[in-house]
A and B are shown apart, each in its own frame.
Chain A
């Protein structure tokens, strides 16, 4: 088979965001193809969440353009948002609903039409391992299950781009492993952007990594490339995100 052109799903150019005088994100460029998992790394307060909020239409950028599958997010927010699934830092769950009711609502919200909604909900319940708890109230479920419902909500409409903000925070090791497997599966057919603090997570799941520091992309490369060079991600991360003064005081210890 001839070399296929892999479609670009996310294309971001010169993205900036100011909060009054404070510049939170400056001149971010980003490109993602179908079937790629991009790891978003950075210290706390680097601007990862701000970038993700802009990518999902929760926050308007000060400058720059965002295209999802060739559709401009700012010009045609509805069409573009229909192709995005987003799991924010805190999963947006209605605790008063049952898992099935909640996913049904999430599906309707993402414009899945009535005939196919039940099968979409069933499929996503299966996929995220929620079979046993489908009829339970969300408030009665553990953090790990709530995180899975959050992921289920993000993939129910089969989006081209899935954006996950720290999906494994607060989970036990088994749950982390399950969620990582799920993300890797998702990465084979969708594009996934994943933000995290856990470096091994990036090494095990992601194809590419971008390190953000003080609102800028300071490093961008493929995980395999790093492995070939024999540099660990931790070294790279420390080199690009350590404040020079702090790193000096560390080395003098």
Chain B
């Protein structure tokens, strides 16, 4: 059932221009950044050779591209998640799903999965961009994998938070702006922390946790944070939809 819903989500997403426009825009921006970093790398390459243990292309080009990719995903998430529940309500199609012999968990997970498939497509394009560097040198595949893993987790966090906010309203525009606000808030929350390593606000910042993956470090604390974040918002979404039947 989860797959049935996920497949429907993707079919509707890709039958509108929205998905294609977003994919094209993200790719355009990331390629631009990629080329800019490649250019810088080629300029400073002679100096890098002189250093004892010089940073490779993966650190100087791919890591910054992935860090920008996370920000791009943060920007496109609200547009995509607003559709998930709020638009179904607005179009009165939610009744079809609720009247069907499936549970709310199926609905929530199906929609989440559908969005994750779309995000995976974006991530695959970024990986393809990175792999193109193999034409001119070698890559640090460990660092690349850690980045891919990290961006996958952080996009799952974006999706689950957006899905929950979409459950709260019947207006796609409100869901979108609410999600954008919440995600930006979680991005910049650590600004007040300054240099303090163990501050609470820093521990809550989404991009801060992603930073470790970006540097090639997979920390259990970050893993725990991401998986808790995803689980909490998925469970809240299911509960919210279930509660709606009671409140009416």
**Which residues in A have some Cβ–Cβ distance to B below 8 Å?**
17, 19, 50, 56-60, 77-82, 84, 86, 88, 90-97, 101, 105-106, 108-111, 153
Contacts and interface: CB of A to CB of B under 8 A. Distances in A.
A60 B246 CA distance: 5
B197 interface: no
B97 A109 contact: yes
Interface in B59-113: 91-103
Contact of B12 (A50, A96, A110, A153): A96
Contacts of A86: 95, 99
Nearest to A154: B99
B99 A105 contact: no
The dominant DSSP class at the B interface is helix
Interface of B: 1, 4-5, 8, 11-12, 15-16, 91-103, 245-246, 248
Given A59-B248, A92-B92, A109-B96, A97 B15 contact: yes
8 contacts: A57-B98, A58-B245, A81-B100, A94-B12, A94-B91, A109-B4, A110-B100, A111-B1
B102 A78 contact: yes
B93 A17 contact: no
A93 B93 CA distance: 6
Contacts of B103: 77-78
Contacts of B16: 96
Contacts of A97: 11-12, 15
A101 B7 CA distance: 11
A95 B96 CA distance: 14
Contact of B11 (A92, A101, A110): A101
